[in-house]
Amino acid sequence: MVSSRDLFQDFEREAFRLETLDDYNIPRAADDFRAFLAGEEQPDSFRNSSWVTTVRNATEGGKRMYRVHILSRPLTDYLRYELAWGYHRNAKAGEEFFILDTTEQENPLEGVPDFWMFDESTVSVMHYDETAAFTGSEILPEERAAEFITYRDTALTRAQPFPEWWAKYGTE
């Protein structure tokens, strides 16, 4: 069985993520989230997380890591945290971000779940419970990859690069 860790270490060209939720219940990030809400500085453990190392290793090795987040304004507290702290931190390590803002347009991917796609062939669908806590992922058969390539392409066609979107809406 392929582990998530293997997928992030073994992909050869690109890893794409579609995010669709307004909140993610991540217990290990609770202290960082509280610090953000309190207006505190980013903890060293946040700035130097293992995810930053994963992203930096991949991008410095010539691989592309990028994602689209489907969202609408006003942002939830969690999205403000994720975008202001997480996206900016990860971008410094080389990850690219795009925003598909559905505030004034229909969501073209309504019902599509969160997923990671590696090298346009391996799709890992993310599952969450009613509290937005991650409950596991499911690797789909390779023949389903074309469907998720279409989802990725649709998202990218409608999305704005994060820096442009953030400059316009990040202080709302």
pLDDT confidence of residue 67: 98
pLDDT interval class at 161 (50, 70, 90): very high
Burial class (CB in 10 A: 0-12, 13-18, 19+), 2: exposed
pLDDT digits (tens, 9 = 90+) for 80-116: 999 999 999 999 999 999 999 999 999 999 999 999 9
Kindly list the domain boundaries of the chain, sorted by start residue.
Answer: 4-169
pLDDT digits (tens, 9 = 90+) for 34-70: 999 999 999 999 999 999 999 999 999 999 999 999 9
Coil, strand or helix at 81? helix
Higher pLDDT, 25 or 171: 25
Q: Does the model's pTM come out above 0.85?
A: yes
**Residue 24 DSSP class:** -
Mean pLDDT score of the chain: 95
Pick from 70, 68, 50: nearest CA to 9: 50
pLDDT digits (tens, 9 = 90+) for 72-85: 999 999 999 999 99
Domain covering 4-169 assigned CATH 3.30.870.10 in the classification:
yes
pLDDT confidence of residue 2: 55
